[in-house]
């Protein structure tokens, strides 16, 4: 590991506004020196500064160590606004894939028992879970009334239909249902895109992955979570699919008009926003909650498809597989939460764009005594981490931490560099089986296109914001 893993807090950025002169803007980045250098030239640090101009922002505009350029906020961006102080909600602080998130599953399986069965396991996953752009067909197309129920009930919609158990909801952030969902705030095009895509993985960096638990850092939490060296785990990474993308697209247009109507001055129009308490703000929150709940229903359904695939491939009884949900967290969302600011409890709108909630045992909805699990996947060729939220996160980052490795090159550049290689064979030589619908996806997601996730996690570990519990190594991956 690189020797430069030191917490760096970059404060008091200077933003030049010609008509007003120089204005001091509060921004903070959690990163090592090398991580700061990686984002200097691509605009990610500029975005941290820009976010600090949002009306009603509280404290600092923040960025996690997986920071890279994104639409509006940087990926890894966190900001809280106070609705009582004219605070705003910005779709650019949530992203297009609303409630993109990770679901980690534990099993009773051991590596020694499945080592020779990995190929049929990955083939079964690929058969049972639709992948790729516009994928559909996992479950029957839902009608309007049923889609409304998905938007409101979230993960429990899937559970009621036999895709999991009530225990799964207890092990999901917000218990798999964000309150305040308003199906009436969702447009016709979003509804059309959402009817066919439940239970589908999608493309890009989304995946389903079989892992082996290789190293334990926090024995007490690992024992409670059911993590043991040599044990087999599964991760699912996906979100609200075309449904959430369309909700975002629709409301970016709404917010563009709202900025003018409310007289909001911004350094970047991608930060289009509206006061949380305005008509536009309430409508977006209601539609965003619908997309978040759709995403939880989606991951809940895929979990059931994972179980079906593994039982088929291994030909073992369900009890022997022992598939169980450890936790499900989202990392593209805005939520109304209560936080202590300068000794006073305030109800804030917390944006987490490519950032994960990291709550300590007190104040979390997690059923685990140790605190809320934090899931930080790497790329398909590198390790992933299960971590633990700590009280320092509430003091420094509004209960937030990193969400993954973070890109160091664009998808287009990755395809240009790696598109001619036999990437499936390359990964197989490293002991990782991969099945993807499109060859281009593998090139886009090569390890070289990402930061070192171990360094990203180490920064937050040393800061005391999220502690390492276990390291997972990929064995088999399916992608779009």
- Say what the pLDDT of residue 41 is: 59
Per-residue pLDDT, 139: 77
Res 39: pLDDT: 66
What pLDDT is stored for residue 365 in this prediction?
A: 82
Q: Are residues 451 and 405 in contact, defined by beta-carbon separation less than 8 angstroms?
A: yes
Mean pLDDT: which of 88-102, 120-134, 136-150 is highest?
Answer: 88-102
Q: Which two tokens stand for residue 19?
A: 């008509």
**Which of these, 177, 171, 133, lies nearest to 158 by C-alpha position?**
177
pLDDT tens digit sequence for 423-432? 888 889 999 9
Segment 449-457 mean pLDDT: 90
Residues 205 and 134: beta-carbon distance below 8 Å: no
> Would the pLDDT of 60 be above 60?
yes
Cβ neighbourhood burial of 253 (10 Å; 0-12, 13-18, 19+)? exposed
337-353: buried (b, 16+ CB within 10 Å) or exposed (e) per residue? bebeeeeeebebbbbbb
pLDDT value at position 40? 58
Active-site option among 68, 237, 331, 403: 403
Higher pLDDT, 239 or 420: 239
Is 403 annotated as catalytic? yes
Banded model confidence at residue 25, pLDDT cuts 50, 70, 90: low
pTM: 0.94
Q: Write out pLDDT tens, residues 98-120.
A: 999 999 999 999 999 999 999 99
Q: What is the pLDDT of residue 437?
A: 81
**Please, what is the average pLDDT of the chain?**
90
Q: Is the pLDDT of residue 124 over 90?
A: yes
Classified as helix, coil or strand, 248 is helix
Between 450 and 173, the higher pLDDT residue: 173
* pLDDT value of position 123: 96
Taking 90 as the threshold, does the pLDDT of residue 17 lie above it? Answer: no
Q: How many whole angstroms separate alpha carbon 73 and alpha carbon 25?
A: 15
Mean pLDDT over 247-269 rounds to 97
pLDDT > 70? residue 346: yes
Residue pLDDT, tens place only, 45-55: 889 989 999 99
Residue 442: its pLDDT value, please? 83
The model's confidence at residue 380, banded by pLDDT at 50, 70 and 90, is: confident
* pLDDT band per the 50, 70, 90 thresholds, residue 19: very low
- Please give the average per-residue pLDDT across 151-179, as a whole number: 97
pLDDT at residue 35 above 90? no
Q: What is the percent of the chain where pLDDT is above 70? A: 93
- For the chain, domains (ranges, CATH) are 8-479 (3.90.1860.10)
pLDDT for position 2: 30
Measure Cα distances from 477 to 36, 223, 443 in Å.
Answer: 30, 26, 14
Which range (22-31, 267-276, 468-477) has the least confidence?
Answer: 22-31
Per the CB < 8 A criterion, the answer to whether 169 and 176 are in contact is yes
Helix (H, G, I), strand (E, B) or coil at 61: strand
């Amino acid at each position: 590991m690189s020797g430069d893993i030191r917490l760096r807090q970059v404060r008091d950025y200077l933003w030049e506004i010609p008509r007003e002169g120089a204005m001091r803007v509060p921004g903070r980045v959690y990163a090592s020196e090398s991580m700061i250098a990686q984002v200097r030239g691509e605009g990610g640090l500029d975005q941290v500064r820009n976010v600090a101009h949002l009306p009603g922002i509280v404290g600092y505009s923040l960025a996690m160590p997986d920071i890279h350029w994104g639409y509006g906020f940087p990926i890894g961006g966190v900001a809280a606004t106070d609705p009582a102080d004219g605070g705003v909600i910005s779709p650019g602080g949530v992203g297009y894939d609303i409630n993109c998130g990770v679901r980690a599953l534990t099993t009773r399986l051991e590596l020694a028992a499945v080592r020779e069965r990995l190929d049929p396991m990955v083939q079964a996953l690929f058969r049972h879970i639709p992948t790729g752009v516009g994928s559909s067909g996992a479950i029957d197309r839902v009608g309007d009334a049923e889609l409304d129920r998905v938007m409101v009930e979230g993960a429990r919609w899937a559970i009621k239909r036999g895709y999991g158990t009530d225990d799964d909801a207890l092990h999901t952030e917000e218990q798999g249902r964000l309150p305040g969902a308003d199906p009436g705030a969702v447009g016709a095009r979003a509804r059309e895109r959402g009817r066919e895509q439940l239970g589908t993985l999608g493309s890009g960096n989304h995946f389903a992955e079989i892992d082996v638990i290789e190293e334990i850092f926090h024995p007490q939490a690992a024992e409670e979570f059911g993590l043991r060296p040599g044990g087999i785990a599964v991760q699912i990474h996906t979100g609200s699919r075309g449904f959430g993308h369309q909700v975002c697209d629709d409301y970016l247009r709404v917010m563009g008009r709202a900025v003018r109507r409310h007289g909001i001055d911004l350094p970047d129009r991608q930060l289009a926003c509206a006061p949380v308490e305005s008509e536009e703000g309430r409508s977006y929150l209601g539609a965003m909650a619908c997309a978040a709940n759709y995403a939880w229903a989606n991951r809940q359904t895929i979990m059931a498809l994972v179980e079906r695939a593994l039982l088929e491939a291994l030909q073992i009884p369900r009890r022997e597989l022992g598939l169980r949900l450890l936790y499900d967290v989202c990392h593209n969302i805005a939520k109304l939460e209560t936080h202590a600011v300068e000794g006073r409890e305030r109800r804030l709108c917390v944006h987490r764009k490519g950032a994960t909630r990291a709550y300590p045992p007190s104040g979390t909805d997690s059923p685990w005594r140790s605190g809320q699990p934090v899931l930080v996947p790497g790329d398909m060729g590198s390790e992933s981490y299960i971590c633990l939220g700590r009280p320092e996160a509430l003091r420094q980052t509004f209960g937030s931490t990193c969400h993954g490795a973070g890109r160091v090159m664009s998808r287009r550049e990755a395809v240009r560099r790696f598109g001619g290689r036999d990437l499936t064979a390359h990964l197989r030589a490293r002991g990782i089986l991969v099945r993807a619908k499109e060859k281009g996806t593998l090139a886009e997601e090569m390890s070289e296109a990402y930061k070192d996730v171990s360094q990203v996690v180490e920064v937050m570990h040393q800061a005391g914001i999220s502690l390492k519990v276990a390291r997972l190594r990929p064995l088999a991956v399916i992608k779009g």
